[in-house]
Amino acid sequence: MPTMTLNEMRRVLAERGIALTRSLGQTFLFDGNQLRRIVAFAQLAPGDECLEIGPGLGPLTELLLAAAGKVIAIEKDHRLVECLRERFCHQSKLELIEADALEYLRESDVDWRSWKLVANLPYSVASPILVELAQQPLGPATMVVTVQLEVARRLMAKPGSADYGTLTLLVQASYEPKGWFRIPSTCFYPEPKVDSACVRLDRRQSELVPFAASECFRSLVRLTFEQRRKMMFKVLKAKWNAEQLQQAFAAAGLDLRVRPEEVSLSQFAELARVLAPQRGLSLPTK
């Protein structure tokens, strides 16, 4: 199926006098081969419900509508919403929502568990959106997202690597990375200074971090990676007493001299399970 070409994008933007805003992460993927590759990566079926965030002028939206049973697209920029309404005015399968996606996701009580997120996420909010959905108990079954290459590497990272950190753990606690592919910067308009990548994340079938320990898990991750070069035990002694920490480290099979980048997801989860019931204070959640 043909998609919107670069020349068509430029024409629509010029006719409407729309200057794209880099602060909003507005850079549009126009390469038809890459767009079709994203849709194939999502393995959409005719009855699937699909969520798209940041549709822009709708080149991916067009392919999603052809492959899925229903599409909800959330766009913040009113100028682009008007373009989308005109372009897809006869599409009954599309629900277009004009809103800040991050605010919408935080405030809505939609059950996304049967949905697939397929989106070229705005660079400026990609990480917060992924963390928000990962922390929701009713998050999508699958997330196939295009993000900056450095963000993709963090999403796919393993312990011991330089990319392993807060984003890795907060997303991988709920989602299992299933693969990724690189997308050159030349496939976007305006052309960004860095390459991008499409990543697939599938919701874990079993709970890795119990709900009762989830706040503790997030606090452990954030606290320790704020000082990732320091030994975890020393950092955490400011919040827990030494005896509690020693018990938790022993349960997780951790040396007291370990640094956070060396600690696996399952070990962080075990620390949270042991420490959460004993926590006698309110830890930061941001």
What value does the mean pLDDT of the chain take? 93
Residue 108, token pair as written in the block: 């809505």
Does residue 154 carry a pLDDT above 50? yes
211-278 adopts what CATH topology?
Helicase, Ruva Protein; domain 3 (1.10.8)
Does residue 281 carry a pLDDT above 70? no
Contacts of 14 (CB under 8 A, 6+ apart): none
pTM given for the model: 0.93
Does residue 155 carry a pLDDT above 60? yes
Confidence of residue 3 (pLDDT cuts 50, 70, 90): confident
The answer to whether 84 touches 59, Cβ cutoff 8 Å, is no
The answer to whether 170 touches 132, Cβ cutoff 8 Å, is no
Q: What average pLDDT does range 90-96 have in this prediction? A: 97
**How do the domains of the chain map onto residue ranges?**
6-203, 211-278
Does residue 218 carry a pLDDT above 80? yes
6-203 adopts what CATH topology?
Rossmann fold (3.40.50)
Tens of pLDDT along 95-124?
999 999 999 999 999 999 999 999 999 998
Q: What average pLDDT does range 187-209 have in this prediction? A: 95
pLDDT at residue 283 in the model = 42
Instruction: Report in angstroms the alpha-carbon separations of 278 from 17, 38, 216, 274.
Output: 59, 45, 10, 7
Q: What average pLDDT does range 254-270 have in this prediction? A: 97
Confidence of residue 274 (pLDDT cuts 50, 70, 90): very high
Does residue 45 carry a pLDDT above 80? yes
Strand runs labelled E in the chain: 28-29, 49-53, 70-75, 94-98, 115-120, 142-148, 175-183, 188-189, 196-203
Answer with the residue of higher pLDDT: 121 or 285.
Answer: 121
Pairing of β 49-53 and β 115-120:
parallel
Residue 216 C-beta-side C-alpha neighbours within 13 Å: 23
Does residue 158 carry a pLDDT above 50? yes
Tens of pLDDT along 53-62?
999 999 999 9
